[in-house]
Structure formats: C-alpha cells, structure tokens
Amino acid sequence: MRDPASEPWSLGPVVVTGGTGHVGLAIAEAFVTAGATTIAIGSTEARAAAAGARLASLGNGHGLAADMSDPTTVSRVLDDITERFGTPAVLVNGAGINFNRMIRDLTEDEFDRLFRVNVKAMLFTSRDACERMAKSGIRGRVVNITSGNYRYARPDAALYSATKAAMEMLTRGLALEYGAFGIAINAVAPGLVDRPGFTDPAFLKVADYYRGQSANHVLATPEAVAGAVMFLASAGAAAIAGDTIVIDGGFSAGRLDFPRRSS
C-alpha cells in the first residue's frame, strides 16, 4: 500500500464541483475517508450545508454553495478555498445538468444553459485550478465527470450528449497543455447510475433497459465512479493523461439485441 503522504491530495485540498449530488457526494466522501481535506461545492446553500455536515462527520470535509458557471465566481471561490485550505491539488468537475428535449423543441436559452453549466464551468474552473497548481509547483490532478452519452446519440438527448463530447475533447486539450507542469487530467464517463430505493417509473424503465443491454447486466454505482476518480487522482495514475474510464457495465461495447445470424 502506498504511503498516503505520497498522494496528490496530501499536497492541498480536493475540490469537488457538483459535490452535493448523488454521485458527487460519494466522490467527496471517498476523498475525506482517505484523509483529504475536501470541499464539496453545490448550487444551493441547503444542499451545501447538508453535504458539509455529512463530510465533517467523516473527516476534514466542508460544503460550499456557488454557481461555478460564472468565471468571476470561479476565481472568487478558488481564492477563498486557497486562503482557507491552501492551493487545490485535486479538482473533480462533477457539476452538470440534463433535461430531455428533442432537437426540434430546443430553445436558445436551453442550449446556452446546458453548455454554460456542463462545459463552460468545467473549462474555466479547470483552467483556474491548473494555473494555481502550476504556479505553486503542485503536480496535481483534474478529473472530469462526463458521461457514456459522449459515445452514442439517442433521441431527446443530442444536446446533452454534445456537451459531454465537448468535455471529453477539452479534457484531452487540457491534458496536453498542462501536462508539462506534471498535472494529469482525465475523465470518468459513467453510464446510467443506479439509485437504490428510487421509485420513479420512468427511471426504473430506463434502468431495466440499460441492465438488459449491458454486457455485465449491471448499472454504474456512485461508489464505482468514486473509485475510478480516486484512482485517476492518485500517484499511481501519473502516466495517464487525456484518457477516460467508462463505467457502464459494457453498455457502450456493442449491442446485445443485434440479430444473430443462424449458424
């Protein structure tokens, strides 16, 4: 087992945007449990307070409310984190939104909102954090939470898939530009993430479809996503850059329902 003091998160705090959500909180919990000072950023005061209380019960964890889709806010928030906890050594971009909409029904405001939250926030938060790491000589990590949707299109999700594809390409570009500073930047792309106890009929219908069409017949879990993020943020992943770990049970590997030819 590696010495925890050798891990990037021993050099400064871990910042998780979208850290108050279903998956983001699991990621933040994993870092806190590993001994990292962790700040979970959410969009509302109530969710940030709840996440902060949960993380504080596990270790050195904190909640913070902020709109990271505004570059001015990004700079202010990272200034505050740096002043209180030190220069961030690990950034996890987990904030994102989605809504189902056919292309013919999309509005310009919806287009702008999806790209502002899913893409603009990730890019400017990553750039600001990486500049701080580089100036401080921190060989840090950035992990972007994209989606298996970047690999395939489906009706009513074209715009969401496009934002995730943009995140994938920006992950590669950021990795190339900041790799010279020893900063490794990668992505984790979950498929549909399980929500035990969730009873929404529409979700359960989609979940059954994903299980049926996945090679392993399982859904991604928040814990599985957190494990992949922890690996990419670790010292052991120093040689991985501009790459993506897909966690979808093999859903994107191919089609199980493709008609078989008789032998």
Task: Give the residue numbers annotated as catalytic, written as ranges.
Answer: 160
Concatenating the DSSP letter of every residue in the chain gives ---GGGSGGGSS-EEEETTTSHHHHHHHHHHHHTT--EEEEESSHHHHHHHHHHHHTTSSEEEEE--TTSHHHHHHHHHHHHHHH-S-SEEEE---------GGG--HHHHHHHHIIIIIHHHHHHHHHHHHHHHHT---EEEEE--GGGG---TT-HHHHHHHHHHHHHHHHHHHHHGGGT-EEEEEEE-SBP-TT---HHHHHHHHHHHHHSTTS--B-HHHHHHHHHHHTSGGGTT--S-EEEESTTGGG--TTSPPPP-
Query: Residue 191's CB: how many other CB atoms inside 10 A?
Result: 22
C-alpha–C-alpha distance, residues 119 and 93, integer Å? 10
C-alpha–C-alpha distance, residues 60 and 245, integer Å? 28
Cα dihedral angle (237, 38, 244, 140), rounded to 10 degrees?
-50
